[in-house]
Amino acid sequence: MLKRILNIDLGEIGRQTLKGSSYSYIGVLIGFLSTAVLFPKTVNSSSNWSYNLTYNLFSVYFYFG
């Protein structure tokens, strides 16, 4: 299908690259929606500090780990 849309012949690496890029963009979109749209609506301000603490700790852990 992609071959017909773009009218080019992609090799196996090209198809895998487009698939991987598509998955990455979909992951960014899901992450944005869950963080910016769903999270503020579902978490009240009293439990917000525990989420921020957990998020910051895991961010540091995954950055250095």
The pLDDT of residue 52 is 79
Report how far residue 27's alpha carbon sits from residue 2's, in angstroms, rounded to the nearest whole number.
Answer: 20
Give which of 2, 25, 23 is closest to 14, Cα–Cα: 2
List the domain boundaries for the chain: 2-64
Amino acid at 23: Y
- What confidence score (pLDDT) does residue 53 get? 82
pLDDT tens column, 19-56: 999 999 999 999 888 878 877 777 666 667 777 788 88
Residue 6's pLDDT is 59
